Amino acid sequence: MGKPTGFLEVERKTISEEAPLERIKNWKEFKIHPEESHLQKQGSRCMDCGTPFCHTGHLVSGMASGCPINNLIPEWNDLVYKGRWKEALGRLHKTNNFPEFTGRVCPAPCEGSCVLGVIEPPVTIKNIEASIIDKGWEKGWVTPHIPEKRTGKKIAIVGSGPAGLSCADQLNQAGHEVTVYERADRIGGLLMYGIPNMKLDKELVVQRRVDLMAAEGVIFVTNCEIGKDITADQLQNDFDAVVFCTGATKPRDLPIPGRNLNGVHYAMEFLTGNTKHLLDSKFDGSLPELNAKDKDVVVIGGGDTGTDCVGTSIRHGCKSVTQLEILPRPPDEREDNNPWPEWPKIYRLDYGQEEAKALQGDDPREYLVMTERFIDDGNGNLSGLEIIDIEWGKDDNGRFVPMKKEDTRRTIPAQLATLAMGFLGPEQSVVSQMGMTTDARSNIKADHGKFKTNIEGIFAAGDCRRGQSLVVWAINEGRGAAREVDNYLMGVTNLP
């Protein structure tokens, strides 16, 4: 619980960051690690709140409230406050396979449901989590844990994102032989190519954990696409169980006039190409073929992926960046219809918007805007966007739909546009080849908690099962699927 009166004595202070105009000069992580004394003070704010909603992990109004993997937050906050860092690491690893990932990229639904947040700014849970695991690596406390016995059972994991890695880690520790297949050239999935390096360092953070898992016995196979390089029949014949963790990688398109112009790209094409170039070139300062240098960039979509496009474009040296959002600007404070412990739907400046504001003088986002068409420069290249303001109203069937304000139609310059409007589910080729049933949203049909598909011995977890979601939900699902697979193979399981 920390110090009984800590929340009365200590103000919330998050980990500081490099100034925006400094950090955009490179691709390094920009969080500045604080002193231990600072973190101990912040840990002291954790209250003796009776019911710690921070680690309940429920869905409230369709959004995560509390930690989906049930991190033992009050316990490790108390241990940090008392300076018992190694014990704090032990408590953190009991529920979270990869706290170095969640401590960097999770939006922290735990903080949104912190009881202290009812009356004061919540405890800085995410910062403390990242600091615990970083100290663990620094001190050499994180070492390979090789299972003493092997069961003889072979399991294939398809996809090496957070769901696949957490599932593989759990099943390997249960003594099974686990092989992870990844169609890209590096392990990590979303963690490697979907999140920019300045948010999550690939070599120092992601690859370090992958190397640890390999030392523990997990077999990783890259450049291997299931359904092409290995058939569905081969997979089923060679393994006792298979878990699909392929993610929701089918992007939402924007089929409007000019969509096929040069310069209009999916956000993940832009982000993946950039990170791959950085790693292949060993950060030599060169730019990928698809880049934003000296271009007016328009990012369509207001979520995390859109923010990453903003930050990446700025580091390329774009001429300007604008982010279009079809929804209204969130309020500065919680509204009555968004009570605690729901996730607070309030206005925030993420890192990309902070950087754009520092460069351009204002938040780059324009709200309640719809794109009507992409404009051709006459040679098949993008030169701008025609956009229009909208308002949300009900149609004849009572559904909320965007209604255009015709007198607001206008054009804005753009030589690069990235589509960051979310994802529609998993790619269907391997799903069809395996004969797996899908739900109404094209996700693989498998109940949460069971994770079994309609095919014997085949399981599904993560975004390919639940749809686009958070890294922490992917870890939740990977761990849950591992438990069900272990029980399926052995008739009993001790996995948490």
Question: How is residue 121 annotated by DSSP?
Answer: P
% of residues, the chain, pLDDT over 70: 100
Residue 53 CB-density burial (10 A; 0-12 exposed, 13-18 middle, 19+ buried): buried
CA distance readout (Å), 222 to 178, 182, 272, 274, 421: 14, 5, 16, 19, 28
Tokens of 100: 């170095």
How confident is residue 387, by pLDDT bands cut at 50, 70 and 90?
A: very high
Residues 300-316, mean pLDDT to the nearest whole number: 97
Q: State both tokens at 307.
A: 């923010």
Hey, how many other C-beta atoms are within 10 angstroms of the C-beta on 122?
22
The pLDDT tens digits of the residues spanning 126-178 come to 999 999 999 999 999 999 999 999 999 999 999 999 999 999 999 999 999 99
Structure tokens at 370: 């719809």
Query: What does the mean pLDDT of the chain come to?
Result: 96
468, 458, 466, 462: which is closest to 436 by C-alpha? 458
pLDDT in tens, 411-457: 999 999 999 999 999 998 889 989 999 999 999 999 999 999 999 99
CB 88 within 8 A of CB 132: yes
Find tokens 């960046």 and name the residue: 321
Residues 6+ apart with CB under 8 A from 394: 400, 401
Give the span between the Cα atoms of 283 and 344, in whole angstroms: 37
Q: Where do we find the tokens 């204002």?
A: 362
Within 8 A by CB and 6+ apart from 62, the residues are: none
pLDDT tens column, 312-345:
999 999 999 999 999 999 999 999 999 999 999 9
* Spatial separation of the C-alpha atoms in residues 254 and 323, rounded to whole Å: 15
pLDDT, tens only, 240-253: 999 999 999 999 99
pLDDT one-digit tens code per residue, 54-65: 988 888 888 889
Structure tokens at 139: 């001190």
Q: Return the CATH superfamily for domain 154-249+424-490.
A: FAD/NAD(P)-binding domain (3.50.50.60)
Tokens describing residue 243: 């878990």
Per-residue pLDDT at 1: 65
Spatial distance between the Cα atoms of 198 and 269, rounded to a whole number of angstroms:
18
Domain residue spans in the chain?
A: 6-139, 154-249+424-490, 264-419
Residue 385, pLDDT above cutoff 80: yes
Helices (H), 82-225: 85-93, 99-105, 109-112, 125-139, 162-173, 207-215
Please count the other Cβ atoms lying within 10 Å of the Cβ belonging to residue 118: 13
Report the DSSP pairing between strands 177-181 and 219-221.
parallel
Query: Residue 79 pLDDT more than 80?
Result: yes
Look up the CATH number of domain 264-419. 3.50.50.60
d(CA 459, CA 392): 40
Assigned token pair, 240: 């006792």
Q: Tell me the residue ranges of DSSP E strands in 254-379.
A: 264-266, 296-300, 320-325, 365-367, 369-376
Tell me whether residue 38 is exposed, middle or buried, using C-beta atoms within 10 angstroms of its C-beta: 0 to 12, 13 to 18, 19 or more: middle
Topology match between the domains 6-139 and 154-249+424-490: no
The runs of H, that is alpha helices, within 217-266 are: 232-238
pLDDT digit string, tens, across residues 251-299: 999 999 999 999 999 999 999 999 999 999 999 999 999 999 999 999 9
The answer to whether residues 115 and 49 touch, using CB atoms and an 8 Å cutoff, is: yes
Judged by DSSP in three states, 318 sits in coil
More confident residue, 459 or 47: 459
Do 318 and 294 meet the contact criterion of CB atoms below 8 Å apart?
A: yes
Cβ atoms < 10 Å from Cβ of 242: 25
Digit-coded pLDDT (tens) for 86-98: 999 999 999 999 9
State the Cα–Cα distance between residues 352 and 357, nearest whole angstrom.
Answer: 9
Fold observed for domain 6-139: Fumarate Reductase Iron-sulfur Protein; Chain B, domain 2 (1.10.1060)
Looking only at Cα atoms, what is the longest distance across the chain? Answer: 71
Instruction: Determine the Cα–Cα distance for residues 450 and 14; give it in Å rounded to an integer.
Output: 38
What are the angstrom distances between the C-alpha of 325 and each of 250, 307, 329, 408? Answer: 20, 11, 9, 15
Tokens 């982010």 appear where? 323
- CA distances (Å), origin 92, targets 103, 128, 431: 11, 11, 35
- What pairing do the DSSP bridges indicate for beta strands 382-394 and 410-413? antiparallel
